[in-house]
Structure 1
């Protein structure tokens, strides 16, 4: 088939670290690897406008500033992003536009794409909880603000020709919150073989968390559950990632008397992250705001049992009693009990880890690329993509 010129709009892109940025990069690089001409437009990490080629992808950085409540997160102002994205769309004339966001850059590419008569695909990685955690609003304002955020998303994504989200649960949120009744799921996907490496030798079983250290991730629940493990049960807790709550949660571990059994690794290289997954005996994701959780998929690809909060899209990744368990969000005692059961039983961990590896095959990244390529070509030919039968 002929190659396509694809423009991906992103509100966040590496070197910024988060799930949406990670997926946007993997999608762009994966499509470029299949011979397509791929461009990405996103807030410039350097602040000034910039264009560079990385891994076969041309990245167009829009002038940005640092978000005051999250200084590692560059954002572009509407009066800069909208004209910049319009000029880029006019210059490139892509075959298809695929936005990963709706707020500023995403809004710009959708508006410019529809003005130019181009097919537009929109994929949602946003939940209001991901944003309000970094905005100093009172709890009385958060509810109305969340409703307004969903409505705004619906207005922008409602102009797209196809709307996707990573999981059926994420699609439910789009339908309920944004009124996007034609949205359908497409998994973010994962290259599972990348994480299938031998486990390094280690004497003490370990629990692993990977993600941003921000409030909605609820890592404080994990730390408290780890501190409540039975006395004499050997275990170590590895926390990979960084964020606004790192200092507070480091102090919490010290205050609970477990500082010597908890390691905050901060951001790590991809190679070290793969090693951390291989070393982990149990993976825990206590977050209440996951639309899929790539970190959980990566842990499953490394044949690791998982203990996840029964919240948002995380239940899609657990077969309770087969590859791990769910626990009620905030139930520290139940989380501690589930961790203790796995940490004390190596044979159970091995059985559940093998099932995790089997389940992750449903999320092969090549299938994700196939799906989006198919959606692009359907729209270009005038067909309307739809959800596939389960």
Structure 2
């Protein structure tokens, strides 16, 4: 066996740090959990550092071979499920974890408290550091009850703080080229690497010989948090603008703080009998939802990749997506679906009607194109790419000094000194 092969096959000890992790339901939490499972299945030793989802002291759990270090946390009063770790309560435990686990690489998915502490302590020990950014300030702004001038200030400070924290990493990645460009426009160097979050395509595609069970009515599907930035209200309004004879129904899979307002909107627009709130849907039933839908719609405007869109494409569904953030990379007009101007319910209705009025054979063709496009996002490829990054076999690492702004003395940084 060659030395190169030995290096490639050597089992690594990887520590993943995430501010949000299951049972949280969001793209970052899903990706981190999938990556932990994927690395473990490849024979690597995996530890995760994340917030405990309930009150109580920090604890260690075993998740079928992945060791979870659940840090003591507190509920964030402005968010329905997000929990915060206070630095003075957890930084000693993070030091202890790094000393005991002795990871080959630390891979952070966040730049707030846990990410900041892990970057700082790993650097002190000379441990290889990788950072992945899943965040844009718009993700949290709907939960901040402050005036617009404060939100504008918060956005600027958030980007500068993100650059500062991830500046301690050897390599920085983001899920899409568009996400990378967004980061560069906000102070990162152009050496950030695009690495797809990846998707287990087989988890969502139809099995051999399996015929999708379409509903009695044409069905539009949305999957995700019922949050402000997802613009589900635009989708409900678009449903009300579709021709009545089409008889289209809308299924909303997910929970969120906007549910009551969306139910009220559906009643006001006279489509409450055609809008079905499914609540949280487990993975096995979610696959069925994708397969029975005629078209998938994502009207959100803060998507750095949109795992749920990749899932729908894996199930060979046509897609109608907002022309915003990373979504334009996933839809090609007339090929596998359509894009629409964000917030434009009338244009969205037109795009949905184009798909729903298309002959079944045409919808099947568009679905096949979705499945073809998603192949480049296969999860095994993502795991292999990160393993190469962990071992230093990928392109040259990001220069640390190039990432750091000259002036940053944020309060968050001061908290963990």
Q: Which of 103, 109, 116 is equivalent to 1:94?
A: 103
Q: Which of 12, 17, 31 is equivalent to 1:9?
A: 17
> Which residue does the alignment assign to 1:319?
332
1:155-170 matches, within 5 Å, as 155-170=164-179
Residues 82 and 107 in structure 1, CA contact (< 8 A), matched pair in contact too: no
1:166-315 matches, within 5 Å, as 166-197=175-206, 198-315=211-328
1:59-138 matches, within 5 Å, as 59-138=68-147
**Whole-angstrom distance in 2 between the partners of 1:102 and 1:86:** 17
**Whole-angstrom distance in 2 between the partners of 1:144 and 1:327:** 30
**Deviation of residue 170 (structure 1)?**
0.4
TM-score, structure 1 normalization: 0.96
TM-score, structure 2 normalization: 0.90
**Deviation of residue 177 (structure 1)?**
1.2
**Deviation of residue 144 (structure 1)?**
1.7
Residues 213 and 241 in structure 1, CA contact (< 8 A), matched pair in contact too: yes
**Whole-angstrom distance in 2 between the partners of 1:330 and 1:383:** 39
Root mean square deviation, CA, Å: 1.4
Q: Secondary structure, in 3 states, of the residue corresponding to 1:72?
A: coil
**Deviation of residue 203 (structure 1)?**
2.0
**Deviation of residue 350 (structure 1)?**
1.3
Higher relative contact order (CA 8 A, sep 6+): 2
**Whole-angstrom distance in 2 between the partners of 1:114 and 1:202:** 54
Q: Secondary structure, in 3 states, of the residue corresponding to 1:354?
A: helix
**Deviation of residue 385 (structure 1)?**
4.7
Residues 140-172 of structure 1 show CA distances to partners (whole Å, capped at 9, x for unaligned) of 221221011000000000110000000000001
1:26-45 matches, within 5 Å, as 26-45=34-53
Q: Secondary structure, in 3 states, of the residue corresponding to 2:255?
A: coil
> Which residue does the alignment assign to 1:370?
384
Residues 81 and 104 in structure 1, CA contact (< 8 A), matched pair in contact too: no
Could you list the runs of 5+ residues in structure 2 that have no partner in the other structure?
A: 1-8, 399-417
**Whole-angstrom distance in 2 between the partners of 1:145 and 1:24:** 26
**Whole-angstrom distance in 2 between the partners of 1:39 and 1:274:** 29
**Whole-angstrom distance in 1 between the partners of 2:174 and 2:200:** 19
**Whole-angstrom distance in 2 between the partners of 1:244 and 1:178:** 32
Q: Secondary structure, in 3 states, of the residue corresponding to 1:133?
A: helix
**Whole-angstrom distance in 2 between the partners of 1:221 and 1:84:** 45
**Deviation of residue 55 (structure 1)?**
2.9
**Whole-angstrom distance in 2 between the partners of 1:334 and 1:43:** 41
Q: Secondary structure, in 3 states, of the residue corresponding to 1:181?
A: coil
Could you list the runs of 5+ residues in structure 1 that have no partner in the other structure?
A: none
Residues 47 and 74 in structure 1, CA contact (< 8 A), matched pair in contact too: no
Q: Secondary structure, in 3 states, of the residue corresponding to 2:61?
A: strand
Farther off after superposition, 231-240 or 70-79? 70-79
